[in-house]
Amino acid sequence: MKKAVFIVVLLSLAVGITADEISFSGFVLSYMMPDLSDLSNDFSSAGLSTIDDEIVTFGYGSWGGFKNVVFGLWGYGREGKYDGPDASTRMFYSGIYAEPGYFLNIYKGFGVMPGVSIGASKIKLKLRESNLGDTDFDDLLAEPTRTSKVKYRTFTVAPTLTINIPIEFLILSLRGGYQWSPFQGNWKLKDGANLVNPPDINISGPFASVCLMFGDVAKINF
């Protein structure tokens, strides 16, 4: 997640520098509805707490453009902890997107923007035994099996519709869309090996976002 946000921030700065007309950026709060039921069932079978059907994520985004053509970059992420009697798991759910769009100005910066987000979604799991105590370094080298890391990544396309509401120097953006992953992603262990018999993940699902943006609202009056 930290890497994704760092990349978005850097690319967002580039968008702001190259945009001749407008640029605005800020924070993105999203309500995601991926289908993680198969993974949640595996958690439950292992005695871990289950995953919620809806996930609230936090992120950052930036949009800039010339005339009515707008290009954006945004990302999101959320970390959750799932405990059980014998093990605990941290799950990192994140995504990063590039988004071309077309802004239709209705009145002094108030308008709508249809667009399409193209990028990747990722789930990363960090698993450890619940009762791990201190260990000798030589013992760790001899048997390094205390924790495991595994990740899932898939290509994702998300048609979106944004409503921009300018308020003084702020822009309130209300966004809705649908994440669609046409291909089943791959599970891999941290060491690069494939994971056998992994759970099915379906990232596809609707989402809604509220964005608090900062920028020169006056320039959005095309």
Residue 77: predicted pLDDT:
94
* 129 inside domain: no
Q: What is the DSSP letter of 20?
A: S
Residue 204 belongs to some domain of the structure: yes
pLDDT at 17: 40
In a domain, 72, yes or no: yes
Q: Is position 197 within any domain?
A: yes
Please indicate, yes or no, if residue 165 is contained in any of the structural domains.
yes
The answer to whether residue 151 sits within a structural domain is no
Q: In tens digits, what is the pLDDT along the chain, a chain of 222 residues?
A: 445 444 444 444 444 444 446 677 899 999 999 988 888 888 888 888 888 878 999 999 988 887 788 888 999 999 998 888 877 889 999 999 999 999 888 887 788 999 999 999 999 998 877 666 677 666 655 666 667 888 999 999 999 999 988 887 788 999 999 999 988 888 888 877 777 888 888 889 999 999 998 876 555 544
**Whole domain around residue 187: which residue ranges?**
2-79+94-121+156-220
Q: Is residue 85 part of a domain?
A: no
13 neighbors 60 (Cβ within 8 angstroms): no
Residues forming a β-bridge with 101 = 70, 115
| pLDDT on residue 162 | 93
CATH code at position 209: 2.40.160.20
Alpha carbons within 13 angstroms on the beta-carbon side of residue 39 total 21
Number of domains in the chain: 1
Is residue 116 included in any domain, yes or no? yes
